[in-house]
């Protein structure tokens, strides 16, 4: 039988051909987008289970190593029940237990025990339990202090924290806890973000009033395993710290718990100097260690005889039950069952040792970006590679995710999800491999042609940029060509673009045989746009300088107007321009937002800066009235002009070269006799500092040294004879 026509009809539709065309890349990209969205969703069905299983694997394979014995658990264990009787014990026994522990001066004691009802074994209540009790005896018993009173006396004045269980239910009336530690919030109200309970179940008022603190002991599991605990929760509308956090507060003697709230939720909770970053609902990830018997002391041993005071002194002591049938055991990543009191101890140790796990938002972005890049790599590479090579690529990507997860967990305590992105990449790889098997040869030829075209375009662009660099550098004058035989001054300049072409500039030429014009500038743009604006600015400024002979301020104002006229991109340029009278050393200069020039030290005179005169960069403020400043240079004085690429040059570690380092170098160069030596010393020092790091900005240096000796030879003599020809030559030199 032939296949039904409808079975293949949809395969020939345009959308189907597009999806399976391009060697499967359109469908691969669509599938990758779906996978990215699924991995991004925190509660995606099935994926959340896989993600949590990945986190559990980290802890089960490499549990936290206990680095201190600052937390001790006094356990009401099976041996204690066997020797002292069934639970609940009379609260006088708990009072004696607390007193014995307190005698060793612990930092704080936490009772992970709920006592919501009065002790039925109190002397005054035995008459209701024992029928036919002699009335006189009943009266004497009634006059004795109740067990709750005895326990309250044992707690009063001691650093004891009581546990409170959060309860839910519409019919549950919130019970007040007047002794709760106040919670001070910064940045907003934490109530909308933290977990909340309708009410709290604590101890009877007499016992509760005697304690120094109250903390939430409720433990919520995620699919049967306790991985996270909140540091704060709302109980009856009131913020309450968790049991471990409250013990730290009482131990530190801090009156309040502080919480920092941002726009997306709670960011951190603090007790004194201890600041704990949290998730948006105040939860933290527990970093579990293995069950350690050294963490426990049996309650019967504490009650039966003296205990080494060093066992409790200065430590956080928790009292709780771990006997079979009494403890509220929960599953954890390291064991199937762990008592609630040990879970609180694990949290305490994590807070004290700074060993909590974390899953910051940046980690999720890294997972998504890693999946996106890895998926794009598979979409691009699988159609091009042989099956075994693409399979090796998939294994490499999965291995990278696993390595990141293991290294993040072991090195930084960061929970990096390696499982779900790896699964997503495996699914994407399978689909892409199946699609690649069709039309492989034709698509490979098309891809080869496309790659060749891209290479040609890249080579053409590289050649054009190199040509642009040669043209740009060729427009810059050279002192040996511009001033042959000149001995009245020594000038040297250099420019190193950060890219193929740059936005820094300099220029110098004679205005007449005795007046030297020089300038240095820095365009706000970089690369090709900056280089174009640099060329325009340099040409317009030179034209203005030749028209405004000998008037620096007027040059600056007219150049500002000329350059601003067709500046559609809103670029600006900083400029330092000056005119030096080569006969007398008189210097007139104007600074338009540029680095002021340095006057190098000579003799007893220190390094100084010429920072008078000028205004904002050109094209920044329309019609600004620029003013000039003057200075007479003595023979031997040296000016140093730079662009900010010098001071902002960065080392491989990100440190900036800085003005202080430059000034220290210039201070040592005061005796240098050559402008070239000064410029090359600056270039060499900056190069040594950056250590081959990629430059972030163009570098330009112009050094002018006034000698004060007249020259009348060569080209300069000709310029004296024909000043008009000299000016024309300077204008058309390049």
pLDDT at site 535: 80
Q: What is the per-residue pLDDT across 645-689, written as a single tens digit (0 to 9) for each?
A: 899 899 888 899 999 999 999 988 876 778 999 999 999 999 999
> What is the spatial distance between Cα 614 and Cα 542, in angstroms, rounded to a whole number?
18
Cβ atoms of 425 and 398 within 8 Å: the answer is yes
Cβ atoms of 328 and 219 within 8 Å: the answer is yes
Which candidate, 29, 20, 16, 26, places its Cα nearest to that of 428?
Answer: 29
> What DSSP line would sit under 121-173, residue for residue?
TSGGGHHHHSTT--HHHHHHHHHSPPHHHHHHHHHTTS-EEEEEEEE--TTPP
User: Structure tokens of 59?
Assistant: 């802890």
Tell me the angle at which helices 714-721 and 723-732 cross, rounded to the nearest 10 degrees.
120
Give, for 639, the enclosing helix (H) or strand (E): strand 638-642
Q: Using pLDDT thresholds of 50, 70 and 90, give the confidence band for residue 21.
A: low
Q: What is the per-residue pLDDT across 703-720, written as a single tens digit (0 to 9) for each?
A: 999 998 644 333 343 333
Least confidently predicted of 342-356, 385-399, 551-565: 551-565
Q: What rounded mean pLDDT belongs to the chain?
A: 84
Map out the domains of the chain with their CATH numbers.
38-63+359-438 (no CATH), 71-179+196-255+282-353 (no CATH), 486-644+697-732 (3.60.40.10)
Q: Is the pLDDT of residue 734 over 80?
A: no
Q: Is the pLDDT of residue 627 over 80?
A: yes
Q: Using pLDDT thresholds of 50, 70 and 90, give the confidence band for residue 4.
A: very low
Give, for 214, the enclosing helix (H) or strand (E): strand 213-216
Which candidate, 149, 159, 120, 156, places its Cα nearest to that of 319?
Answer: 159
Cβ atoms of 350 and 283 within 8 Å: the answer is no
Q: What is the average per-residue pLDDT within 598-627?
A: 89
pLDDT at site 709: 64
pLDDT at site 17: 55
Q: Using pLDDT thresholds of 50, 70 and 90, give the confidence band for residue 42.
A: confident
> What DSSP line would sit under 37-57, residue for residue?
HHHHSTT-TTHHHHHHHHHHH
Which candidate, 582, 575, 586, 590, places its Cα nearest to that of 629?
Answer: 590
- What one-character DSSP code corresponds to residue 410? I
Question: Helix (H) and strand (E) counts for the chain?
Answer: 25, 26
> What is the spatial distance between Cα 385 and Cα 381, in angstroms, rounded to a whole number?
6
Q: Is the pLDDT of residue 129 over 80?
A: no
User: Structure tokens of 703?
Assistant: 């050094």
Q: Using pLDDT thresholds of 50, 70 and 90, give the confidence band for residue 403.
A: very high
Q: Are strands 316-321 and 608-609 parallel, antiparallel or unpaired?
A: unpaired
pLDDT at site 211: 93
Exposed / middle / buried, residue 215 (Cβ in 10 Å: 0-12, 13-18, 19+): buried
* Residues near 704 by beta carbon (within 8 Å), at least 6 away in sequence: 489, 490, 491, 516, 518, 580, 638, 639, 641, 675
Q: Is the pLDDT of residue 82 over 80?
A: yes
pLDDT at site 16: 53
> What DSSP line would sit under 668-714, residue for residue?
HTTT---HHHHHHHHHHHHHHHHTTPPPSS-EEEEEEEE------SH
Q: Is the pLDDT of residue 11 over 90?
A: no
Q: What is the per-residue pLDDT across 493-538, written as a single tens digit (0 to 9) for each?
A: 998 887 766 778 899 999 999 999 999 988 886 667 777 788 888 8
pLDDT at site 326: 77
pLDDT at site 712: 38
Quote the pTM value.
0.57
Q: What is the per-residue pLDDT across 166-223, written as a single tens digit (0 to 9) for each?
A: 888 766 555 566 667 789 999 999 999 999 998 888 889 999 999 999 999 988 888 8
Q: Where are the beta strands (DSSP E) in 379-433?
A: none
Q: Is the pLDDT of residue 733 over 50?
A: no
User: Structure tokens of 205?
Assistant: 């008022």
Q: Where are the beta strands (DSSP E) in 263-376?
A: 265-271, 274-277, 283-285, 296-298, 316-321
């Amino acid at each position: 039988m032939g296949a039904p026509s409808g079975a293949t009809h949809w395969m020939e539709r345009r959308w189907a051909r597009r999806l399976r065309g391009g060697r499967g890349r359109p469908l691969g990209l669509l599938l990758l987008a779906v996978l990215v969205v699924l991995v991004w969703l925190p509660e995606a069905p099935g994926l959340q289970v896989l993600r949590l299983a990945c986190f559990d694997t980290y802890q089960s394979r490499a549990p936290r190593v206990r680095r201190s014995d600052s937390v001790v658990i006094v356990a009401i264990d099976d041996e204690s029940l066997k020797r002292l009787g069934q639970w609940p014990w009379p609260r006088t026994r708990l009072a004696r237990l607390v007193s014995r522990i307190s005698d060793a001066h612990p930092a704080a004691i936490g009772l992970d025990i709920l006592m919501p009802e009065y002790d039925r074994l109190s002397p005054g209540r035995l008459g209701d339990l024992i029928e036919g009790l002699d009335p006189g005896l009943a009266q004497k018993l009634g006059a004795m202090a109740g067990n709750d009173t005895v326990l309250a006396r044992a707690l009063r004045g001691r650093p004891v924290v009581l546990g409170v269980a959060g309860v839910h239910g519409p019919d549950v009336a919130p019970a007040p806890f007047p002794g709760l530690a106040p919670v001070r919030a910064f940045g907003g109200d934490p109530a909308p973000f933290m977990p909340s309970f309708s009410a709290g179940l604590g101890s009877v008022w007499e016992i509760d009033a005697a304690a120094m603190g109250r903390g939430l002991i409720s433990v919520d599991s995620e699919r049967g395993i306790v991985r996270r605990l909140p540091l704060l929760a709302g109980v009856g509308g009131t913020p309450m710290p968790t049991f471990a956090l409250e013990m730290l507060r009482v131990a530190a003697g801090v009156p309040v718990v502080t919480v920092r709230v941002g726009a997306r939720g709670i960011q951190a909770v603090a007790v004194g100097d201890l600041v704990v970053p949290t998730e948006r609902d105040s939860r933290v990830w527990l970093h579990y260690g293995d069950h350690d018997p050294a963490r426990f002391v049996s309650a019967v041993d504490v009650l039966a005889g003296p205990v080494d005071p060093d066992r409790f002194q200065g430590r956080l002591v928790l009292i709780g039950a771990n006997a079979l049938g009494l403890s509220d055991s929960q599953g954890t990543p390291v064991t199937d069952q762990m008592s609630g009191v040990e879970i609180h101890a694990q949290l305490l140790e994590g807070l004290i040792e700074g060993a909590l796990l974390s899953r910051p938002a940046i980690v999720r972005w890294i997972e998504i970006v890693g999946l996106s890049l890895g998926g794009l790599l598979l979409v691009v590479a699988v159609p091009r590679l042989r099956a075994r090579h693409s399979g090796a690529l998939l294994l490499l990507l999965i291995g990278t995710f696993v390595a990141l997860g293991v290294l993040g967990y072991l090195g930084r305590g960061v929970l990096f999800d390696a499982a779900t992105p790896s699964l997503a990449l495996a699914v994407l790889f399978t689909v892409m491999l199946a699609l690649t098997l069709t039309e492989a040869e034709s698509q490979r030829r098309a891809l080869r042609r496309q790659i060749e075209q891209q290479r040609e375009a890249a080579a053409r662009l590289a050649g054009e940029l190199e040509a642009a660099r040669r043209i740009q550098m060729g427009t810059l004058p050279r002192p040996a060509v511009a001033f042959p035989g000149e001995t009245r001054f020594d000038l040297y300049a250099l420019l190193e673009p950060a890219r193929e072409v740059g936005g820094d500039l300099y220029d110098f030429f004679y205005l007449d045989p005795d007046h030297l014009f020089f300038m240095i500038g820095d365009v706000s743009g970089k690369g090709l746009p900056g280089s174009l604006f640099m060329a325009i600015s340099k040409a317009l400024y030179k034209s203005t300088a030749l028209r405004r002979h000998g008037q620096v301020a007027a040059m600056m104002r007219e150049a500002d107007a000329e350059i601003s006229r067709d500046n559609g991109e809103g670029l600006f340029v900083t400029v330092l321009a000056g005119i030096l009278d080569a006969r007398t050393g008189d210097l007139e200069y104007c600074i338009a937002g540029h680095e002021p020039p340095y006057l190098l030290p000579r003799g007893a005179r220190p390094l100084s800066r010429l920072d008078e005169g000028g205004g904002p960069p050109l094209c920044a403020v329309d019609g600004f009235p620029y003013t000039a400043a003057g200075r007479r240079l003595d023979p031997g004085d040296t000016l140093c002009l730079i662009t900010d690429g010098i001071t902002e040059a960065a080392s491989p570690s990100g440190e900036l070269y800085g003005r202080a380092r430059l000034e220290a170098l210039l201070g040592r160069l005061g005796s240098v006799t050559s402008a070239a030596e000064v410029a090359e010393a600056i270039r060499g020092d900056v190069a040594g500092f950056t250590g081959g790091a990629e430059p972030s900005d163009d570098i330009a240096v112009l050094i002018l040294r006034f000698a004060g000796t007249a020259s009348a030879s060569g080209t300069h003599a000709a310029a004296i004879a024909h000043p008009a020809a000299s000016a024309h030559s300077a204008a058309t030199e390049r």
